Amino acid sequence: SQTIHQWPATLVQPVGSPLSLECTVEGTSNPNLYWYRQAAGRGLQLLFYSVGIGQISSEVPQNLSASRPQDRQFILSSKKLLLSDSGFYLCAWSVGNRGNQPQHFGDGTRLSIL
Amino acid sequence: GENVEQHPSTLSVQEGDSAVIKCTYSDSASNYFPWYKQELGKRPQLIIDIRSNVGEKKDQRIAVTLNKTAKHFSLHITETQPEDSAVYFCAARLRGAYSSASKIIFGSGTRLSIRP
C-alpha cells in the first residue's frame, strides 16, 4: 500500500533562517505531488504541484521554492523565512493522468517562525 | 479567477439531525469534486468524492450532490454523531498548467459541531 512521510513534524525557526521540508511517497510510481499551506483556522492554500521530476508549477508568488530531485521525493525550501511563513505545511500525492483522482495527505509539518 | 466558495463557515446541529454544507465553483471545466474531513491538528482525510458524470453519490450516512449547470455541489450528513465534529473542506479540480495533474482548489472550510 502507498504511504507518505513528511518530516519534521514540528519546527521552530528564527526569521531570516533557511528552510527545508521533505516529503517522500512509497508504494507508487510517478505520483503527482503537492505542497499546501494551512494558516491557523483557515483553509488549504496550494503552493506547488509536480507531475514528474523537474516539472513544478508554482501557484503563489512568495519566497518559497520546491524541488523534485527524485520521482517520489518533494522538497519545500526557503532561503530566508518570513514571519508570514508560519503555518501547517502539508504534502500530498495522487496518481493517474486524468486529474480526477483523490489526493492523500501526509501528517504535516507545523512551522513556527519567531 | 479560479475559486471555490464554501458555506457556512460554522455549523452547529443537534445529534441525530442532518447537516448540509454547500460549495460553488467557478471553472466550468471542473470534473472532480472531493470532500475532506480534518480533525484538530490532523491531516485532511478524503470522505467522499464525485465526478462530473454523476449527479449524486452516497456512502452510508454521507451523500454528495452535484449540479453542473449551476456549478454547485453539496455534502449531506444524516443522523449526525459526536464523531462527525470536525472541519470539512470541499474542493474542485481545475485545469492546471499540466493537464494530467489534479490541481485541486479547496474551499475555506466549515467547522461542524454536533451538540449532544
Count chain A–chain B contacts defined by CB atoms under 8 A.
73
**Average pLDDT of span B66-70:** 94
Residue A35 to chain B, least CA–CA distance (Å) = 11
Alpha-carbon distance A71 to B13, whole Å? Answer: 45
- The pLDDT tens digits of the residues spanning A86-99 come to 999 999 999 876 66
Assign A68 to helix, strand or coil: strand
Contacts of A108 in chain B (CB under 8 A): 43
pLDDT of residue B100: 53
DSSP three-state, residue B18? coil
**What is the rounded average pLDDT for all residues in chain B?**
91
Q: Which of A44, A57, A100 sits opposite B93 (nearest CB)?
A: A100
Q: What is the mean pLDDT of residues B39-63?
A: 94
**Each residue's pLDDT tens digit in chain A (114 positions)?**
889 999 999 999 999 999 999 999 999 989 999 999 998 878 899 899 898 898 898 887 678 999 999 999 999 999 999 999 999 999 999 987 666 788 999 999 999 999
> Would the CB atoms of B104 and A46 count as touching at under 8 Å?
yes
Q: Tell me which residue in B42, B97, B102 faces A103 most closely, judged by beta carbons.
A: B102
Q: What distance in Å separates the CA atoms of residue A78 and residue A112, rounded to the nearest whole number?
A: 14
Give the whole-angstrom CA distance, residue B78 versus residue B76: 6
